[in-house]
Structure 1
Amino acid sequence: MFKIRSLVTALALTSSISVASAWEALPTHAESPADNPTTPAKVELGQMLYHDPRLSSTGTVSCSSCHNTMLGGEDNRAVAMGVNGQTGGRSAPTVWNSAFNKVQFWDGRAASLEDQAAGPVTNPIEMGMKNWDEVVARLKSIEGYKEPFEQAFGKDSISKETATKAIAAYERTLITPNSPYDRYVSGEKSALSAQQVHGMEKVAELGCTNCHSGPAFNGPGMFQKFPVIPNGYWEAQHHFSKDKGLAEVSKNPADEHLFKVPTLRNIALTAPYFHNGSVKTLDQAVTLMAKLQLGKDLSKQEVADIVAFLNGLTGEFPRQKMPTLPGTSGSTFNN
């Protein structure tokens, strides 16, 4: 709990705190931590593990099941589906550009991509493995994993730590630069339409960038209360407040309804919206954010302009060559 509390106190919590926001292009590379430098061997192994459903108890769910790198980096479901058709209470956030998140998960309970990679595998609803010892035993029993682990980490290196480091290394390559917005702020003034520029100006005028700041439009690791302004009608429609957010982890009532500020990058591809996936369209999401966070009623034209700008945040997706996974010769893990 102290780790989470220290994160909260160190980061901005409300929109009343103005975050200096220059219009910045997205970097093309993400820095790696000192204890997990990115290497081609790690990335190759991480991509294999990321797409391997045998990291789940039923052999049916992989990281890519909920965070699809052939789409917008999530699953376009209201809430993610795990083993045996179970569903949780939150929408899967996009994996694209997750390297630029200061914290991971909607409630920010993981401080790094390495920490994040460890969680879903043993979550009973998500991938359903009993524990990481069981996961490691399974990986060691797959003969074809020995060589890629050895190339990435050395001999006899299959472990929870190396598996999660490899997945994180792969995820740090999932960056989508060179969107129309990026080209515009880099000097190509024809990259955005006049309507998109109007929307960009409106986003700044309204104060959206107080939270959605920086090159990834996700703030400096901020948590934000949602909704800020109670509204009985919209609560009845979408049940936003049913989820206690950070308080679900910290158990501190002061943290109720605090959520990590999500990226706006590629948001046009990641419907439905919000932590519970209850809003189906981007124009409705914009309307509700203005109403519930800023107390503003936007005109149809203002909404259309902002949506046009948000479409300009769709970047170029690096081509993904799907990995060939090592087989389980003559046997299966499942009944």
Structure 2
Amino acid sequence: MPRNALLPVFFLLGISAMASWHALEPSEEAGRTAAIQLGQALFEDRTLSASGSMACASCHQREHAFAQNVAVPELYGERRGTRNVPSLLDLPYFESFFWDGRGTRLDLAVIAAFTNPAEMGSPDMDAVIHAISARKAYREQFRAAFGDERVDQERVSSVLMSYLASLTTAGNRYDAFVAGDTTSLSEAERRGMEVFMGKADCGSCHSATGKLAPFTDNRFHHSNVGLERMTGHVSETISAFKLRRESGSSMAELVLSDPEMAALGRFAVTSQGRDLAAYRTPTLRNISRTAPYMHDGSVATLEEAIRREIYYRSLARGAPISLTAQEQRDLRAFLQALDDAALPTH
């Protein structure tokens, strides 16, 4: 089964964080198809942003595994984001959403960008719903999907989730290997898998257990990336963040518009000292398609990411991890085997 073909199963069974929302399920196949098509149209519609220049698809680009090949997104005017765009093909493997895990409900996460001043910038969802309702073509699509033309937040969220659930892929060669096809990995890739599971200890955070391994532990770790932004003024940054929050600014707006506040990491969610500059472990699926890396996109290449991870994992363990040049090449080959055979075509 293609790995993202499991996404509708997650939706129906309510596994992990996805148990906290209820998607509207059109009863007929034609309704489900209409919901997917409507979700795609909304996903790609730039006119639903305040500037008229941004859509969900502006950052989550199909050709880059529904991520983006720049460090942080360029928004509109001279504005830039603060966080690297994660791939939407990764959704089935996560229990919370966004780099700091501030989202625990997918139905809210999929519409968050519409109203975030640091992203698409609509004043509220009522404005988005009004813009959709004002277009006859959209009203007709809602009728096809749900049987009537009513547009509301729940339905907008539902069709977007239907579209994301439809993004099936062809699986990868590691999944085939685990399923029993021992010829699916090359000799170098098998050596790299041994390094990954053993000497490099990558699997302690990027879990490779199960038939459809998530390659993440869904936990938050310190990567020593971006800390220099707050050097010498951590307390001031925290105080400014708390003051802005108390004044009514949303967490998402602050961390996506201010690089120093973005550097707070998971702390912005929990206010726990241990979470300062901690970020969710990304999955390694489609890793070679989603450069640059880290939460701020500051690591440009997979080779650099491997070297950095080996160095900081050695520091965390208190013992050096010494990989030969060949072992690093083999490890890279294995990581490339985690790429889906093909990306979604619709």
Query: Normalising to structure 2: TM-score of the pair?
Result: 0.77
SS of the residue corresponding to residue 221 of structure 2 reads strand
1:308 partner amino acid: A
Q: Pick from 102, 119, 130: which aligns with 1:109?
A: 102
Tell me, yes or no, if structure 1 residue 194 matches structure 2 residue 181.
no
Q: CA deviation at 1:318?
A: 4.9
Q: CA deviation at 1:37?
A: 5.5
1:99 partner amino acid: P
SS of the residue corresponding to residue 44 of structure 1 reads helix
Match of 2:279 in 1: 259
Q: Pick from 118, 123, 130: which aligns with 1:130?
A: 123
Q: CA deviation at 1:174?
A: 2.2
Match of 2:223 in 1: 226
Match of 1:3 in 2: none
Distance 1:112 1:294, change over 3 A: farther
Tell me, yes or no, if structure 1 residue 59 matches structure 2 residue 84.
no
1:166 partner amino acid: V
1:130 partner amino acid: P
For residues 1-335 of structure 1, the aligned pairs below 5 Å read 26=3, 28-30=5-7, 31=9, 32-33=11-12, 35-36=22-23, 39-205=32-198, 206-213=200-207, 214=209, 215-227=212-224, 243-295=263-315, 296-321=321-346
Q: Distance in 2 between matches of 1:190 and 1:261?
A: 30
Q: Distance in 1 between matches of 2:33 and 2:136?
A: 21
Distance 1:290 1:177, change over 3 A: farther
Q: Distance in 1 between matches of 2:311 and 2:168?
A: 31
Among all aligned residue pairs of Structure 1 and Structure 2, give the percentage whose two residues are the same amino acid. Answer: 30
Q: CA deviation at 1:241?
A: 11
Match of 1:16 in 2: none
Distance 1:176 1:257, change over 3 A: farther
Contact 1:55/1:62 (CA < 8 Å) preserved in 2? yes
Unpaired runs of 5+ in structure 2?
15-21, 26-31, 232-258, 316-320
Contact 2:205/2:281 (CA < 8 Å) preserved in 1? yes
Unpaired runs of 5+ in structure 1?
1-23, 322-335
Structure 1 segments of 4+ aligned residues over 4 angstroms from their partners: 239-242
Query: Normalising to structure 1: TM-score of the pair?
Result: 0.79
Tell me which moved more, 61-70 or 82-91.
82-91
